[in-house]
Amino acid sequence: MLSEKRRQYFKDYYIKNKEKIRKQQNQNRDPEENKKRCKEYYFKKKKDIEWVKKERERIKAHRKNNLGKYAAKEAKRRTFKLNASVSWADQKYIEDLYKNCREAEDIFNNAGLNIKFHVDHIVPLQHDKVCGLHVEHNLQILTSDVNARKSNKYEVI
């Protein structure tokens, strides 16, 4: 067991020499070897049925607890396919918007009101006259019935 004084010394040393230590650690690691070890590990684990069940449950629980994050990720994937995604968009803001949408649904469901919310593009991504982008300024939260009525319409003011 390390004494408290010695433990503090190592902690201070690490803080002062963090870059040097990280550089040494990375030099000693072979990325191909690490990739090979990871493949072998998961190949062995896939044969363990109990581990596979636990892993699926863990992933399912993570997805359930982070619905907004996964909704934002799916929206980004769809917009990328439509070529409506841009690199300069504030992805953190967009992710937070989707999380807020899910939280609003939860609040209304807990109050006994079954109201669904959608994140809507103000300027549609696909339209015969305009083409919107998947950026924070083009998103809004609407109830599902209002969003369904709006559909793919865009009115020029």
The CB density around residue 67, as the number of other CB atoms within 10 Å, is: 16
Q: Give 72 or 31, the one with higher predicted confidence.
A: 72
Domain count, the chain: 2
Q: Report helix angle 67-81 to 49-65, nearest 10.
A: 90
Q: Do 118 and 71 share a structural domain?
A: yes
Same domain flag for 36 and 76 = no
User: Across the chain, where does the E strand assignment appear?
Assistant: 117-121, 139-143
* Residues of the domain holding 114: 66-150
Are residues 50 and 96 located together in one domain of the fold? no
138 with 85, same domain: the answer is yes
Is 71 in the same domain as 52? Answer: no
For the entire predicted model, the pTM comes to 0.55
Confidence band of 25 (pLDDT split at 50, 70, 90): confident
In a domain, 155, yes or no: no
79 shares its domain with 101:
yes
CA proximity to 141, closest of 116, 110, 114, 107: 116
Interval 94-116: pLDDT, tens: 999 999 999 999 999 999 998 99
The rounded mean pLDDT for the chain is 87
Same domain, 38 and 105: no
For the segment 73-99, what is each residue's pLDDT rounded down to a tens digit?
888 888 887 787 788 999 999 999 999
Inside any domain, residue 156: no
Which of 59, 79, 104 is a domain's end point?
59
Q: Report d(CA 64, CA 51) in Å as an integer.
A: 20
The verdict on residue 142 lying in a domain is yes
